[in-house]
């Protein structure tokens, strides 16, 4: 038997569970609100865009790392370099193949994930989180609207 308290407690958790599956993640920190939106390309890059900082963390998708196999080398772009959407900004080499990385957005590279130089396998273990490649300060934030949602991205390779 369910009690009214148990049902009320479950009802309060439902919106939180729904927020986790959303393509936009609301991160709550006392005194501020930041929305991080993830968008994808057909070439298997992903951008996690923070609307407060204007930075997009670029990486490869989980599907891409599964297709590549064990990553053994990652070439990162230079900090301070100006990139245009579609430019090659790096490469990933695995035991199976090598793949170029293309800028999904335009802007200035502000940071690269130096950990990948000594630990390229991090890209396999956490491709869309700790295995990010670089952060780009977007010069044209509207380009995010041209990228794919998770559902649209999955439809490109699940068919």
Q: Do 76 and 119 contact (CB within 8 A), yes or no?
A: no
Residue 35: the pLDDT is: 76
Q: Write down the pTM of the prediction.
A: 0.78
pLDDT in the model for residue 17: 38
**What local confidence, expressed as pLDDT, does residue 18 receive?**
38
The answer to whether the CB of 85 falls within 8 A of the CB of 105 is yes
Q: Which residues contact 11 (CB under 8 A, 6 or more apart)?
A: none
**Over its length of 159 residues, how does the chain's per-residue pLDDT go in tens digits?**
333 334 444 344 434 333 333 455 555 556 565 678 999 999 999 999 999 999 999 999 999 999 999 999 999 999 999 999 999 999 999 999 999 999 999 999 999 999 999 999 999 999 999 999 999 999 999 999 999 999 999 999 876
Contact 48, 132 (CB under 8 A): yes
Question: Can you give the pLDDT at residue 29?
Answer: 58
71: which strand partners? 94
The topology (CATH level 3) of 36-158 is OB fold (Dihydrolipoamide Acetyltransferase, E2P) (2.40.50)
Tokens of 142: 């509207």
d(CA 48, CA 38) in angstroms, rounded, equals 4
């Amino acid at each position: 038997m369910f009690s009214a308290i148990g049902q009320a407690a479950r009802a309060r958790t439902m919106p939180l569970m729904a927020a986790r599956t959303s393509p936009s993640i609301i991160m709550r920190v006392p005194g501020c609100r930041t929305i991080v939106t993830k968008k994808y390309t057909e070439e298997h890059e992903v951008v996690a865009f923070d609307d407060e900082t204007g930075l997009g963390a670029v990486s490869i998708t989980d599907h891409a790392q599964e297709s590549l196999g064990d990553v053994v080398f990652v070439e990162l772009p230079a900090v301070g370099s100006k990139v245009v959407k579609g430019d090659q900004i790096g490469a990933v080499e695995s035991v199976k193949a090598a793949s170029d990385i293309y800028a999904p957005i335009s802007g200035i590279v502000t940071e690269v994930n130096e950990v990948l130089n000594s630990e390229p396998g991090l890209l396999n273990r956490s491709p869309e989180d700790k295995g990010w490649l670089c952060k780009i300060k977007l010069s044209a934030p509207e380009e995010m609207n041209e990228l794919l949602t998770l559902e649209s991205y999955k439809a490109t390779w699940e068919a």
